[in-house]
């Protein structure tokens, strides 16, 4: 059983749309949840970090964690062409880190 499941997409949306990205996990020991953005041939860039159930907002980005359902989401409001990238969810027990496969997002002008 995979530790972290993420739909690889690809996902294509028009500019201005709300984007919803999701991951599920199986390990109850995960305490910390992260979303990264990765542009082609670059290292991942941390977008959001949270360690509790509920919502966390930062600008156009909202991270949502539901520990009871083992489900995390990232919402992007008013999506822009510059948001086109691969989005990786990641989870940690505090010691080890587990990444999803990434969802490829294209925002069409």
Partner 1 sequence: EPEVTQTPSHQVTQMGQEVILRCVPISNHLYFYWYRQILGQKVEFLVSFYNNEISEKSEIFDDQFSVERPDGSNFTLKIRSTKLEDSAMYFCASSESRPGAANYEQYFGPGTRLTVT
For CA atoms 98, 103, 24, 66, give the dihedral sign.
positive
Among the residue ranges 11-19, 55-63, 66-74, 93-101, the one whose residues contact partner 1 (CB under 8 A)? 93-101
DSSP-derived letter for residue 77 is S
- Answer yes or no whether residue 96 interacts with partner 1 by CB under 8 A: yes
Q: Which is nearer to partner 1, 17 or 61 (CB)?
A: 61
What is the pattern of x (binds partner 1, CB under 8 A) and - over residues 10-29? --------------------
DSSP-derived letter for residue 16 is T
Q: What are the structure tokens assigned to 12, written together?
A: 């294509």
Residue 17 to residue 54: CA distance in whole angstroms: 23
- Answer yes or no whether residue 104 interacts with partner 1 by CB under 8 A: no
Q: Which of residues 37-76 bind partner 1 (CB under 8 A)?
A: 41-46, 49, 51
Q: Which is nearer to partner 1, 22 or 92 (CB)?
A: 92
At residue 83, the 3 state secondary structure works out as helix
């Amino acid at each position: 059983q995979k530790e972290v499941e993420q739909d690889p997409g690809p996902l294509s949306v028009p500019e201005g749309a709300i984007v919803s990205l999701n991951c599920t996990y199986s390990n109850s020991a995960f305490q910390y949840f992260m979303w990264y953005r990765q542009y082609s041939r670059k290292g991942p860039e941390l977008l959001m970090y949270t360690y509790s159930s509920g919502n966390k907002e930062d600008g156009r980005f909202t991270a949502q964690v539901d520990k009871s359902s083992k489900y995390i989401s990232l919402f992007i409001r008013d999506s822009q062409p510059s948001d086109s990238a691969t989005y990786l969810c990641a989870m940690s027990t505090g010691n080890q880190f587990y990444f999803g496969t990434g969802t490829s997002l294209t925002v069409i002008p």
